[in-house]
Amino acid sequence: MDDSGAPGEDYCGQSVRTTIGMIGGKWTMLILFELLQSERRYADLQRRVDGISQKVLSEELKRLVAEGLVARLVVPTTPPQVTYSITEHARSLDTVFAALHEWGHGHQDR
């Protein structure tokens, strides 16, 4: 990292590529963004992530749980209630979404 804090030539590119490989992807980022705001039930997530199919949402949630980025809680009611929430490991992704917010906000009128 050069001294401006911005990534420079001596940049550890591999950690960025690894992170992009893990969380890059429109649906992954939209799901993480929703869960950073609040824990959600499946149907709530499907409504909030515009255009996502049931199949993709289920696959993404399964992968994010396996990666330790999302937690899945089953409440044994009848029928059982399933809630998804961001893990502490993923909560620090907040900075990425804050940077996305800043950029989006600054370039809205482009």
> Site residues (CB under 8 A) for its own copies?
1, 5-7, 9, 11-13, 15-21, 24-26, 29-30, 33, 36-37, 50, 68, 89, 92-108, 110
Least spacing, CB of residue 40 vs its own copies, in Å: 13
**Contact between 41 and 82 (Cβ < 8 Å):** yes
Least spacing, CB of residue 61 vs its own copies, in Å: 17
4 or 78: whose CB is closer to its own copies?
4
Alpha-carbon span 42 to 15, nearest angstrom: 31
Least spacing, CB of residue 52 vs its own copies, in Å: 12
Q: What is the number of alpha carbons within 13 Å of residue 44 lying toward its C-beta?
A: 12
**Contact between 85 and 105 (Cβ < 8 Å):** no
